[in-house]
Amino acid sequence: MDEIIAKIDDPEMLSMIKKIVPFHGYLSTGAFIGLQMLQIARRLLDINEGDRVYVTCETFNCLPDPFQILCSSTIGNKGLKILDYGKMAMTINKAAKPGQKVVKGVRIFLDPEKTAKYPVFHAWYMNERKVPHEEAISELLKAGEDVYTWKFVDVQVPVKAKKDAAICKICGESFIRIDDEDICKGCSTTN
């Protein structure tokens, strides 16, 4: 992987990779794709250092990690939502201004029609054969943004509901209820 990183002459990208590797464990192809998607979103949405970023990722695999470490977009702070559709795609938007009900976002996906121009990477993406991360990332460096398709989308700003705590009538544990239920989701799905 060192020889791949040596090919990168962008100091900002190198700095980001140095933060991602300890968090993710190594520089995976999926994490590198997430990093490239982050760079596209920053440019298209004018995301600056310190801006609050919200991400809806369409896979659990590697892709959301750069957003967690570089943008502090996590599940816990509601900056990251994962819809496990098994797609290398995500929607990114900045925080809404007070009273704003819709914000501009961008949905970016790895486009198989475009990856076909990069046979080694395409083989990795379509799982046609085992391709080492070094080879796939090397092709991604050549491709740059050429393998992605994006479009601007309207993102609905969720209404922050008031938390209503209750005690579950089955297990006796406290839970946040929606509507007026008296049984927690855990008990309602097992009973």
Output the DSSP codes for the chain.
Answer: -HHHHHT---HHHHHHHHHHHHHHSS--HHHHHHHHHHHHHHHHHT--TT--EEEEES-SSSTTHHHHHHH---TTTTSEEE---S-SEEEEEEPPPTT--EEEEEEEEE-HHHHTTSHHHHHHHTTSS---HHHHHHHHHHHGGGGEEEEEEEEEPPP-PPP-EEE-TTT--EEE-STT-SS-HHHHHH-
Q: 118 and 100 share a domain?
A: yes
Structural domain range at position 183 = 161-191
Higher-confidence position of 91 and 179: 91
Percent of the chain with pLDDT over 90: 75
pLDDT at 7 over 80: no
pLDDT at 161 over 80: no
pLDDT given for residue 191 in this prediction: 62
pLDDT given for residue 5 in this prediction: 75
Is-contact 137 4, C-beta < 8 A?
yes
Q: 99 and 186 share a domain?
A: no
Read off the tokens for 6: 């040596």
pLDDT given for residue 1 in this prediction: 65
Q: 42 and 8 share a domain?
A: yes
Express each pLDDT in 42-87 by its tens digit: 999 999 988 999 999 999 889 999 999 999 999 999 999 999 999 9
Q: 51 and 15 share a domain?
A: yes
Express each pLDDT in 84-116 by its tens digit: 999 999 999 999 998 899 999 999 999 999 999
Higher-confidence position of 1 and 26: 26
Q: 48 and 106 share a domain?
A: yes
pLDDT at 16 over 70: yes
CA atoms within 13 Å, Cβ hemisphere of 84: 3
Query: What average pLDDT score do residues 19-36 get?
Result: 90
Q: 104 and 64 share a domain?
A: yes
Provide the pLDDT confidence category of residue 163 given band limits of 50, 70 and 90.
Answer: confident
Q: 149 and 181 share a domain?
A: no
Look up the CATH number of the domain holding residue 97. 3.30.1330.130
Mean pLDDT of the chain: 92
Q: 191 and 126 share a domain?
A: no
Q: 59 and 106 share a domain?
A: yes
pLDDT given for residue 104 in this prediction: 97
Provide the pLDDT confidence category of residue 190 given band limits of 50, 70 and 90.
Answer: confident
Q: For the chain, how many structural domains are there in total?
A: 2
pTM over 0.95: no
pLDDT given for residue 13 in this prediction: 87
Q: 64 and 139 share a domain?
A: yes
